[in-house]
Structure 1
């Protein structure tokens, strides 16, 4: 058993004896878990800001949605460092991290794409595919991380497929378009009619490509 696995076993043993009483689950959270939840908070607020834009048409709501996602990335970066610093990683923290990442880097970018104009039926299928790829990517990571090659500190050598936070590149692209007033009816490449009643924004295909890269088995990305 590696040092990291021993630490996880020790941490999970502590979780099996939780503090009793009111709010006992919250009281058993580590500092890293709280930071992870802040990533989730950013993701949820980003989704709600995109939804708010649909009713207000205030571009500030779009800007808020876009800013919250990289802020979530900051919390995602910090939680792992804090967990290693305080030497209290746990399987609960791993699951919290994946769920928060799914919201901030899966659902939130898809909601943003819908808000800026990718709203046709085929668009929504493409965005659903993207989110489902994120779900599959995170599930695969959680299921295989214990067996993945690691260095002496317990750090995984590489990712299989692109990590889900790479979706921030899509957010950056949309931010550029919004900044230049290229959204809604002026989205680049406009709306393409495949057949009568079947329309799609070609721009949504970048989400399809991103999702496909996330679930790739052969693409290996060195972990920084």
Structure 2
């Protein structure tokens, strides 16, 4: 038996190894609240995809509503942790992953679902997602060294907190509600194919703000720039926002 095999055998027989399902048993009440945030983010993604498949804006509004629900869970988990006087590294990582799903990926997918589907739109949406990911990673890596108050609470955020992307979702919801997106008008499937309606729904006059041509063959919807601004503010180190 090789030394590597002996090492693996010792590790698997180590009585100090965690038992099965120990991760679930180690969850605090606040962690379950955080999972509620993650559930909202997943549901938002699924409702957005369902909206595109069915061309039904009811599913799109359901997707919109999942984001403020996620904000509520994100607000509550910290309160519950302080109330129970319980916190852990697992809870911190779980919170970041749930935030990334609800306030990083989901808003970008909602932008795509509303019509930001040009190649340059996709570049900006991807930039926004990467900024959210980097912002959360930076917070986790530096939170131990950041100034805290008497209760051990971090005094300020570096860059805008990722839940502020709720503002983008609110803008999109307002636009859909007032008919500035989504103009599906009895598309003819039998002659133009099952996806022809998307070319009708997301023409320049059917996406809020229209589109501009940057280079021949490369168009951009100006409204998508709010994602670029949001992403840049999230990763800013000079912008410091007091933590409530």
What do residues 101-128 of structure 1 show as CA deviations (whole Å, max 9, x unaligned)? Answer: 0000000000000001001111011000
Tell me the distance in 2 between the aligned counterparts of 1:113 and 1:137. 20
* Counterpart-to-counterpart distance in 2, 1:34 and 1:67: 20
Tell me the SS of whatever aligns to 1:145: helix
Q: Where does the alignment leave 5 or more consecutive residues of structure 1 unmatched? A: 1-16
What's the CA shift for 1:211?
Answer: 0.2
- CA deviation string 1:173-222 (max 9, x = no partner): 11110110101442222121112210110100000000000000101111
Q: Which residue of 2 aligns with 1:140?
A: 138
Is residue 203 of structure 1 aligned with residue 236 of structure 2?
A: no
Map 1:34-183 → 2, pairs under 5 A = 34-183=32-181
- CA offset at residue 38 of structure 1? 0.9
Residue 211 of structure 2 is aligned to residue 191 of structure 1: yes
State the partner residue of 1:20: 19
TM-score (norm 1): 0.90
Contact 1:19 1:28 in 2 (8 A): no
Which 4+ stretches in 1 moved above 6 angstroms?
A: none
CA distance in 2, matches of 1:220, 1:168: 19
**Aligned equivalent of 1:222:** 242
**Structure possessing the higher radius of gyration over alpha carbons:** 2
Number of corresponding residues: 207
Q: Is the contact between residue 18 and residue 25 of structure 1 (CA under 8 Å) also seen in structure 2?
A: no
RMSD: 1.2
Checking the alignment, whether the CA contact within 8 Å between 1:18 and 1:28 is kept in structure 2 is: no
Q: Give the C-alpha shift of residue 19 in structure 1.
A: 6.1
Residue aligned with 1:190, SS: coil
- Matches of 1:170 and 1:109, distance apart in 2: 7
